Amino acid sequence: MRKQAKTAITPTRAKDYPVWYQQVVKASDMAENSPVRGCMVIKPWGYALWENIRDVLDNMFKETGVKNAYFPLFIPKRFLEKEAEHVEGFAKECAVVTHHRLEGGEDGGLVPAGPLEEPLVVRPTSETIIGESFSRWVSSYRDLPLLINQWCNVVRWELRPRIFLRTSEFLWQEGHTAHVGPNEAMERTLQMLDIYERLAESYLAVPVIKGEKTVSERFPGAVNTYTVEAMVQDRKALQAGTSHFLGQNFARASEIKYQSTQEKEEYAWTTSWGVSTRLIGAIIMTHGDDDGLVLPPKIASSHIVLMPIIKKPEHRNAVMDYTHALARELREITYHQRKIIVEIDCRETGGRGWDWIKKGIPIRVEIGPRDIAQDSVFLGRRDRGPSEKESIPKGQFVKTIVSILDEIQKNLFDRALRLREENTKQIDSKDDFYAFFTPENSERPEIHGGFALSHWCGNQACEEKIKEDLSVTIRCIPLDAEKETGTCIACGGKSPMRVIFAKAY
């Protein structure tokens, strides 16, 4: 009967997922590209998400004894050269500062002058410079464990940037700890992984799988790398956080030594762990729909927008008073350690409701004279269709707002989990495996594939072969994987367990 249902975002996810993603970022007013390729301007609506993620994590870290500190942006080049694998891993993507001054050039422009004696590298990660500090801070077993975190930006020169997912500069937190022994360090590594899981699942409503990375996917210089992997709506894997057991590699490189109770000099055992603004990309791709962003209430930039409906001037005062009174009432309510954030949108245009849908605000409330007469509000929820709105008594709304938000939060998680489960397959035959990861339309690949739980013999060559053939990699070896013998999907050799294969961001 009606013209086809319009979506607020074109193209839709099914039509062109990458372009859809960019349109959501734009339409939700979260961020924009900067004049510098690969960098982004994070606007208030996007930055608020980061602040909320930061607050949640920061508290969790501190509950486990971690302290915040700040280390310099610039790292002397020789520091990066200390750990061989580390050098190799990061050398290709480092920004290097070689001068400390600009001088007037011939054509009125500026030219770099004052060359530095030793070039400075803009931190791609801070293991080396923090290691240098740690080496001076640690001398006795009594100084351990040393538990430090910093919130900062880092730079990794990216060839193919994607806003929030892979930018040349991004914001993150990097935790660095030093311990007396391997067990304690490993325990910390996994403890932080648990925190990332908790952040992802109970705050971002993003289901994740904890696992260990294979050798080829490991952090350069690490002994083990652990990850939380999410599946986003085009069924690709997204690494949402990593935690590394560094063994004594960096302690050796940076001379982090302590005297043990036996009066022996020992190298410390270290860890590092981080999550970045990439998480915002994970939120967009996990929950967003064809009408735009969908924000999980627990970390939403704002929770509710109130939209007064004023058709006749004589109603104005009554409607505005009612709206402001409701806003005051709502702002007193605490939702998971945060006061509820209420927006009031007084624009008198029809499209404003859609602006808020595109921004992903969990709850929209329309308030007009008729509602006021019944002392009720007209409510729209972002986990439901744009026109599935209902009138409910104001008192009830205020009383149940927390549980409504919780319900939305839960619905988003359940929906995301269902998507992952529906697209996770145990695959044992090589043909099925190749078919699973091959689109029907190779020109314009449709959304296909997912997570394949398949056997792998542990041989790097097999992993490499799959990657070459299909651009599919082992996302992780799940920590809770059951021991189950089988045959390797690539070579047919013996395999002790299933791992997760997927295309990845």
Partner RNA sequence: CGGGGCGUGGCGCAGCCUGGAAGCGCGCCUGCUUUGGGAGCAGGAAGUCGGAGGUUCAAAUCCUCUCGCCCCGACCA
Residue 10 is a binding residue for RNA (CB under 7 A)? yes
- 254 lines the binding site for RNA (CB under 7 A): no
Q: What is the DSSP string of 403-450?
A: HHHHHHHHHHHHHHHHHHHHTEEE--SHHHHHHHTS-S-SSSPPS---
Q: Among residues 66, 130, 165, 209, which is the contact residue for RNA, using CB under 7 A?
A: 165
* Interface residue with RNA, options 13, 20, 24, 38 (CB under 7 A): 38
Interior angle at CA 174, CA 90 and CA 258, nearest 5: 90
Q: Which of residues 308-327 bind RNA (CB under 7 A)?
A: 309, 311
Phi, psi of 101 (to 5 degrees): -160, 155
Q: Is 23 in the site for RNA (CB under 7 A)?
A: yes
Note whether 128 binds RNA by CB under 7 A.
no
- CA–CA distance, 125 with 153 (Å, rounded to integer): 9
Exactly one of 168, 249, 423, 495 binds RNA (CB under 7 A); that residue is 168
Which backbone phi and psi does 465 adopt, to 5 degrees? -60, -45
**Residue 242 binds to RNA (criterion: CB under 7 A):** yes
Q: Per DSSP, which regions of 95-223 are E strands?
A: 96-104, 110-122, 146-155, 169-179, 209-212
Q: Does 278 bind RNA (CB under 7 A)?
A: yes
Closest CA to 371 of 303, 302, 325, 304: 325
Nearest to 34 by CA among 172, 168, 227: 168
Q: Minimum Å distance from CB 162 to RNA? A: 5
By three-state DSSP, how is residue 286 classified?
Answer: helix
> Would you count residue 159 as binding RNA (CB under 7 A)?
yes
Q: How many Å apart are CA 387 and CA 243, to the nearest integer?
A: 43
Question: Minimal distance in Å, beta carbon 20 to RNA?
Answer: 10
Q: Is residue 292 near RNA by the rule CB under 7 A? A: no
Binding residues among 90-119 for RNA as defined by CB under 7 A: 92-93
Helices marked H in 363-393 — which ranges? 369-373
Least Å from the CB of residue 188 to RNA: 19
467 binds RNA (CB under 7 A): yes
For residues 279 and 166, what is the distance between their CA atoms, to the nearest angstrom?
Answer: 11
Q: Does 26 bind RNA (CB under 7 A)?
A: yes
Q: Measured from the CB atom, is 174 or 409 closer to RNA?
A: 174
Q: Which is nearer to RNA, 36 or 111 (CB)?
A: 36
Give 28's Cβ-side CA count (13 Å radius): 34
> Applying CB under 7 A, which of residues 128, 173, 214, 239 lies at the interface with RNA?
239
Does position 396 interact with RNA (CB under 7 A)? The reply is no
Instruction: Report 342-371 residues binding RNA (CB under 7 A).
Output: 347, 349-354, 366-371
10-47 CB burial, b ≥16 within 10 A, e <16 = eeebeeebeebbebbbbbbbbbebeeeebbbebeebbb
Q: Give the C-alpha separation, 423 to 420, whole Å.
A: 5
| Count, residues near RNA per rule CB under 7 A | 65
Among residues 120 and 466, whose Cβ is nearest to RNA?
466
59 binds RNA (CB under 7 A): no
Region near RNA per CB under 7 A, out of 103-111, 274-282, 332-340, 405-413: 274-282
Nearer to RNA, 108 or 350 (CB): 350
CB 494 within 8 Å of CB 485 = yes
Judged by the rule CB under 7 A, the positions of this chain that interact with RNA are 5-8, 10, 18-19, 22-23, 26-27, 33, 37-38, 89, 92-93, 156, 158-163, 165-168, 170, 217, 219, 239, 242, 274, 276-278, 309, 311, 347, 349-354, 366-373, 378, 386-387, 389, 391, 445, 467-468, 471, 504-505
